[in-house]
Each structure stands twice: as C-alpha cells, then as structure tokens.
C-alpha cells in the first residue's frame, strides 16, 4: 500500500483537538513558570552574579529554560498520546487500520515535536520581554530545537509504550528528565563546577543539548558545537532504534 499520509493527517488533527481542550493550561503554565524563573534567577539572584563568558546571567539561562520546557513537553505529550489509547483500548483501532509503524510514529512523534517547538519559541518570546536576547545563529537554533524535540518525543513515545500505569508514565519525566536538565547546566556553566563534577556532567546527554542551544544564541558553550550536534544525533538514532525494536517485536503492543 502506498504511503498513508491521510492517516498522519488524521493523527495530527486528533492530537490537535486533544491539545485544544487543555490549551490555556498547556500554554500558560510553561509561560508563567518561565517568567518566574527569569524574574527570580535572572533578575533577583542574577543581579548578584556577574556575567558568564560575557553574557548577562538573565540571558545566559534562557536557552536552558527553553530546553527545559522543550524536553518536558515533548516527553509529556508523546508519552501520554500513545499511552492513553493503550489504556482505553482504542489502540486496537489504530493497529488494525492500514497504518504502518512509520506513519504511526510520524503522526504521534511529529505532533508532539511540533507542539514542543512551538512552546519553546513561545518561551523564547516570553523571555525576550524580560532580558535582552540576541540569537547569533537562528538556523542552528531551530535545528537544535527541532532535533531535540524529535529525539525527546521519541523518548516519550518509548515511555508511553513501556509504561503499564500512570505512575510509571509520570516517573521518568519527574525523576529523570527534570533532574538531568537542572544538572545539565540550565542555570550555570558547568565550567563553574569542581573538575570531578564537571566530568560527571559529561555523561548527561542533556548537557550537550543545552550547550549546543546556548552556542546558537551566544556563541558561548561548554563543549564544541560539533560535539553537541553529534550527541544530539546519537541520542536521536538511539531512540529511533528502540522504537524500531519495539514495533518489530510488538513489545507491549501485541501482548
């Protein structure tokens, strides 16, 4: 059968109508929390912290905050989008329809990634109201946003397939992703850490994402942009491989 692009459209529309129901809460809560971060850390605390690598502290944390929202929203939306049909049993309609796994992944992961990028840009616009921002490499910035959103939407999709209860669905974002984002240099340059901890940070994949995104803004980064990009792509490929394996074996789908 030819490529079922209408099915992808149907999944997009369905997810869009699902998101619309919680639109206000989905849009405003990240915007408000970002504004709070910027006011508290950027303005209040930041006024006592000098510039980092020549960048004002309030502006320095913006890429990290965008990344924080991007990661949590990607994972949240994608994991729930595939978990909920499994929970209610409507997954069988999707599995019995002439929709290939590739189309399924493009539909669900694509929508979650798009939504996360839109939210990320919204956060950026909010931040621009509070701190002076300059974006040195807008194309690279969009590329980092898109790649990260896709990779973490894939991760969310994997979590949504793996979870067999709402607790597990919530556990990974709260217990893994948020801490890793905070420890990955959202609010600081890892070069400020003691050398031992700086080495530990190198094992945190999110560190490379934040560093890469920060470079696209200020041309200031903890590691080279090439390393950041390679790590982002590596993570993306890893997630794709896991999704491919899950569909190939029917893991938690055809039990």
Partner 1 sequence: MWNAVSFSRGLFGLRANPDYLSQVLKDLSLWDKRNNRIVTLSGGMKRRLMIAKALAHEPSILFLDEPTAGVDVELRKDMWEILRGLRAKGVTIILTTHYIEEAENLADRVCVINRGEILLVEEKTELMSKLGKKQMRLHLHDKLSEIPGTLSNYPLTLDADGRELVFTYDSQSEHAGIKALLDDLSASGVAFTDLSTNKSSLEEIFVDLVRR
Q: Which CB, 5 or 197, lies closer to partner 1?
A: 5
Q: How far is the CB of 84 from partner 1 (least distance, A)?
A: 12
Interface characters, 4-23, with partner 1 (x: CB under 8 A): xxxx-xxx-xx--x------
Among 93, 165, 175, 241, binds partner 1 (CB under 8 A): 93
Give the Å distances, CA to CA, from 18 to 61, 112, 122, 149, 204.
32, 12, 20, 19, 33
Q: Which CB, 77 or 214, lies closer to partner 1?
A: 77
**DSSP for 173-220, written as a single string:** IIIIIHHHHHHTTSSS-GGGS-HHHHHHHTT-HHHHHHHHHHHHHHS-
Q: How far is the CB of 64 from partner 1 (least distance, A)?
A: 37
Residues paired with residue 62 on neighbouring β-strands, in sequence order: none
Binding range to partner 1, per CB under 8 A, among 68-76, 95-103, 141-149, 204-212: 95-103
Q: Which residue has the tokens 């003691």?
A: 194
Contact 108, 86 (CB under 8 A): no
If one asks whether residue 150 binds partner 1 (CB under 8 A), the answer comes out as: no
Give the Å distances, CA to CA, from 64 to 16, 121, 209, 213.
27, 13, 9, 8
Record the tokens describing residue 118, joined without a space: 């839109």
Q: How far is the CB of 7 from partner 1 (least distance, A)?
A: 5
Interface characters, 165-204, with partner 1 (x: CB under 8 A): ----------------------------------------
Among 59, 67, 99, 206, binds partner 1 (CB under 8 A): 99
Q: How far is the CB of 80 from partner 1 (least distance, A)?
A: 16
To the nearest 5 percent, what fractions of the chain are helix, strand and coil? 80, 0, 20
What CA–CA distance (Å, rounded) separates 82 from 110?
12
Binding site for partner 1 (CB under 8 A): 1, 4-7, 9-11, 13-14, 17, 93-94, 97-99
């Amino acid at each position: 059968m030819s490529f079922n692009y209408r099915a992808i459209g149907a999944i997009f529309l369905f997810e869009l109508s699902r998101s619309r129901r919680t639109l206000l809460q989905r849009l405003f809560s990240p915007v408000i929390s970002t504004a709070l971060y910027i006011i508290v850390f950027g303005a209040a605390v930041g006024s006592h912290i000098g510039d980092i690598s020549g960048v004002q502290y309030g502006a320095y944390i913006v890429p990290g905050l965008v990344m924080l929202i991007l990661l949590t929203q990607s994972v949240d939306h994608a994991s729930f989008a595939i978990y909920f049909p499994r929970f209610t049993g409507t997954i069988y309609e999707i599995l019995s329809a002439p929709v290939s796994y590739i189309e399924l992944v493009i539909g669900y992961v694509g929508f979650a990634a798009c939504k996360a990028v839109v939210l990320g840009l919204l956060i950026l616009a909010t931040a621009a109201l509070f701190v002076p921002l300059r974006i040195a490499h807008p194309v690279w910035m969009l590329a980092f946003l898109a790649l990260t959103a896709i990779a973490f939407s894939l991760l969310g999709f994997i979590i949504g397939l793996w979870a067999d209860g709402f607790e597990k669905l919530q556990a990974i974002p709260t217990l893994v992703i948020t801490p890793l984002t905070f420890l990955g240099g959202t609010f600081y340059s890892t070069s400020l850490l003691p050398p031992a901890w700086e080495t530990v940070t190198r094992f945190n994949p999110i560190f490379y994402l934040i560093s890469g995104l920060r470079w696209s803004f200020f041309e200031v980064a903890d590691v080279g942009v090439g390393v950041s990009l390679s790590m982002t792509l590596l993570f993306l490929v890893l997630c794709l491989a896991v999704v491919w394996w899950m569909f190939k074996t029917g893991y938690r789908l055809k039990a």
